[in-house]
Structure 1
Amino acid sequence: MARRSIGEAAKVVIAAVVLGPPLGGAALIALMQIVPWIATDFPVSVPEFSQNLFRSISIAVPLAYVVGLYSAILAGLALAAYVSWGGRLTWWSCLAASLIYPAVLAISGWFSLQGSPETLPPVMINAAIMAIASACGAVLTYLLLHRTGFVRRLNARQ
């Protein structure tokens, strides 16, 4: 028997699906812009870099739903099941749930490409990038929901 209502579990899934992909996509694009900019010793000015970063993020956020929707749905359902059966919503649980889909990508890629090992590195890179975006999206979603009090109210109903 579930310890929490279906409504509370649905809120967890909705939060993961609505907030996870855009936050994860924005974080991934920001990392992909900021790290090379720093590594190349700041080749462009800060205003120009900021403008490029804003444009990249504004393009990435809508596309993040296309790329990250399955990951967000799977993570949201895993978290909802965990919370429904009495688990506390923590950033560790969000991180673990967010890495389910990238793990499935890596494992299925490993087994499906045994005949052609040269195609394995791109599949693993895809899984690693998906893991970074999913983890960033999950932790940022948790922090945002914790800040609004949703997590504290949900964890208080034990």
Structure 2
Amino acid sequence: EGRLVLCDALTWAQHSYKPDTIIDLATLTGAMIVALGHEYAGLFSNDDMLAEQLTAAGQKAGDPLWRFPLGEAYDKLLDSPIADIKNIGGRFAGSITAAQFIKRFVEDGVKWAHLDIAGMVWAEKPGAVWDRGATGYGVRLLDRFIADTLEG
């Protein structure tokens, strides 16, 4: 299960490197393709400024993002009567509950963004910045984000 491996990686990175910010990208849910098709990747974040910076970088780079909500109501969909937590929330809000699950593994004080890029990694027709086939989605976005926020 991809989200379990992703949570292990997030935990390891936080314990090993003590980052201020973590950005993860994953082709996590088919529900993201249902929600946004192949036009945007989904963005989830616990920090408004980080979300705004990533959205701006994506717009400049041609890797568009659409922000989704996180919140306690969605978190409750992960409650389990027999375990500490479920890793899937059921039929509704699949991409949101997946992000809520991942968020539980982000330490307090760490700025975090999750990009669900499921609908953006392959193109049947050329787009603004990619040809048909593998798109390389996220590489341009992260390069622009780093240039704008860390180098500029």
Q: Considering only CA atoms, is the larger Rg found in Structure 1 or Structure 2?
A: 1
Higher strand share: 2
State TM-score, norm by structure 2.
0.28
State TM-score, norm by structure 1.
0.27
Higher helix share: 1
